[in-house]
Structure 1
Amino acid sequence: MATYNKRGYKPKTQKEKEEVVETDSATAEVFSSLDEGANKTEEWVSENQNIILIVVGVLVAIALGSWAYQVFRVEPRAEEALVESAQANEYYLQAVNATGEQQDSLYNMALEDSNGKYGLIKIAENYSGTPSGNIANYQAGMAYLNLGGANYQNAIDYLTAYDGDGSILEAYAAGGIGDALVQVDQKADAVSYYLKAADIQSNEFTTPKYLLKAAQAALDTGDNSTAVSSLERIEEEYPDAPEASTAKVLLAQAQIAD
């Protein structure tokens, strides 16, 4: 900054006086522009205040509506779904730990309404958008998968509807879809679901399991390159997994056929 611009300094030469005048003029012009812009803004606000109030009102209404919906609709509905699903969840957990005909019976009891309470089918339908409704899709899909027979398409539909948000259950759901597709002889489609299941949450339990299933389904469809890459991943990344010994044998076969 020039010396003559400091507070209290008085210009001495004619040149400094001219520069001070020029600087003051420029400053005045800036403030004049700011004032002009402020006036235009005030005029625009004044002319459009009704529109502004309407827009603000709409935004406030949306915010309040969202809050009210969450508090008075979503949360009570989620709590209601949790209470309603208690019986179906109990039957499902018992079925997971059972075998044979008893297991089939428990899966059916979990799926259907009983004792005045909804089964998994109705919970998924009537409480969609709640955590209980979402998990009911997963449980219903797995129940149908285990029941087998004519239930594989139902298994695919419910497991597809489940949103696992990257959790381990999403991996099981994708793998379950793959299992159902294998049973209905759509092994080429099953491969993609097994590979998806393997990578949703990489770990030493689900990843080698679904890589092996992907390789087996790929070999059955003649997709030897996919089989080789899946088996090599098991051999390289998960050499201590239970699937590693089977993967080693299949890899040798796939490499010969590739």
Structure 2
Amino acid sequence: MAETKDKATVPQPTKDFDLEKSMHKAEDFFYKNKNVISIAVLAVVVVVGGFFAYNRFVKQPNENKAQEMIFHAQNYFAVDSFKLALNGDGNNYGFIQVADKYGSTKAGNLAKYSAGVCYIRLGEYQKGIDMLKSFSSNDLLLQPTAYGLIGDAYMELNKADEGIESYKKAGHYNDNELTAPVYLFRAGQALERAGKSQDAITIYKEIKEKFPTTNEGREMDKYLARLGDVKN
């Protein structure tokens, strides 16, 4: 006797896709929601167009203007005329004015860094700290240097804990041999002066292990021995 198939296992024919009906549904949806759709499309156009317009007519002109304005301040800075570099000479902007007016530009951001350095060189340490904290960069040398300068300023204000943390931040920003061992060493020295010998030993060992060929790295055995951590 021939076997009968279980009806439940027999695939049922699918209904043909009704393109015309689907199109009508899409049209109905559009007409019912055309105001919302039009506003959404317009919003996208405005945002995209506004972005390009902002870059072309606002951002780039401001960048160019900031570059022009910072030029004279940089010249004063190069010859250690820090007051003129900071405040301008009456005819040309100083770093403060460039930072205030064009702070969102690359040149304006650099002006914040330079203004911070000027303040520190003029002995206005807290103003230098505040200005350098407003500076931000992805540059592998400039950003850790800014952190290190903040550490210097805190030490001048007798705020050792803040200074040590800033030095560590500078030293750990990246492992380049130009800034990292310098600021880690300053952190170690500050820890020694604060009576935190074990913490200083930890920092000195880090310098020795990570940067053995630098000036700081070659000197670490001496500093470790001074703290009683003698090389075997």
Shared fold by TM > 0.5?
Answer: yes
Q: Contact (CA 8 Å) 1:174, 1:197: kept in 2 or not?
A: yes
State the 1:168 CA deviation: 0.8
Partner of 1:107: 82
Q: 1:28 aligns with which of 1, 6, 15?
A: 15
Q: Which has the higher helix share?
A: 1
State the 1:249 CA deviation: 2.7
Alignment length (residue pairs): 226
The amino acid across from 1:217 in the alignment is A
Q: 2:77 aligns with which of 75, 92, 100?
A: 92
State the 1:136 CA deviation: 0.6
Query: In structure 1, what is the Cα distance between the partners aligned to 2:82 and 2:64?
Result: 24
The amino acid across from 1:44 in the alignment is F
Unaligned runs of 5+ in 1: 1-14, 96-105
Query: In structure 2, what is the Cα distance between the partners aligned to 1:37 and 1:228?
Result: 75
Partner of 1:190: 163
Partner of 1:210: 183
**More displaced 10-residue stretch of structure 1: 173-182 or 162-171:** 162-171
Structure-2 change in CA distance of 1:183 and 1:246 (3 Å) = farther
Query: Does residue 134 of structure 2 align to residue 161 of structure 1?
Result: yes
Partner of 2:150: 177
Partner of 2:110: 135
State the 1:40 CA deviation: 4.1
Query: Does residue 53 of structure 2 align to residue 68 of structure 1?
Result: yes
The amino acid across from 1:210 in the alignment is Y
Sequence identity (%)? 31
SS in 2 for 1:200: coil
SS in 2 for 1:164: coil
State the 1:165 CA deviation: 1.7
Query: In structure 2, what is the Cα distance between the partners aligned to 1:230 and 1:39?
Result: 73
Partner of 1:6: none
State the 1:157 CA deviation: 0.8
- The structure with the largest alpha-carbon Rg is 1
State the 1:77 CA deviation: 1.0
Query: In structure 1, what is the Cα distance between the partners aligned to 2:163 and 2:157?
Result: 10
Query: In structure 1, what is the Cα distance between the partners aligned to 2:200 and 2:194?
Result: 10
SS in 1 for 2:212: coil
1:78-107 C-alpha deviation (Å, 9 max, x unpaired) = 111111111001111222xxxxxxxxxx11
State the 1:158 CA deviation: 1.0
Q: Contact (CA 8 Å) 1:138, 1:159: kept in 2 or not?
A: yes
Query: In structure 2, what is the Cα distance between the partners aligned to 1:129 and 1:170?
Result: 17
Structure-2 change in CA distance of 1:35 and 1:211 (3 Å) = farther
RMSD: 2.7
The amino acid across from 1:145 in the alignment is I
The amino acid across from 2:59 in the alignment is V
Query: In structure 1, what is the Cα distance between the partners aligned to 2:179 and 2:54?
Result: 39
Query: In structure 2, what is the Cα distance between the partners aligned to 1:94 and 1:247?
Result: 36
Partner of 2:174: 201
Structure-2 change in CA distance of 1:121 and 1:35 (3 Å) = same
Structure 2-normalised TM-score?
0.86
Structure-2 change in CA distance of 1:39 and 1:209 (3 Å) = same
Q: Contact (CA 8 Å) 2:103, 2:112: kept in 1 or not?
A: no
Q: Contact (CA 8 Å) 1:187, 1:220: kept in 2 or not?
A: no
Partner of 1:233: 206
State the 1:71 CA deviation: 0.8
State the 1:221 CA deviation: 2.5
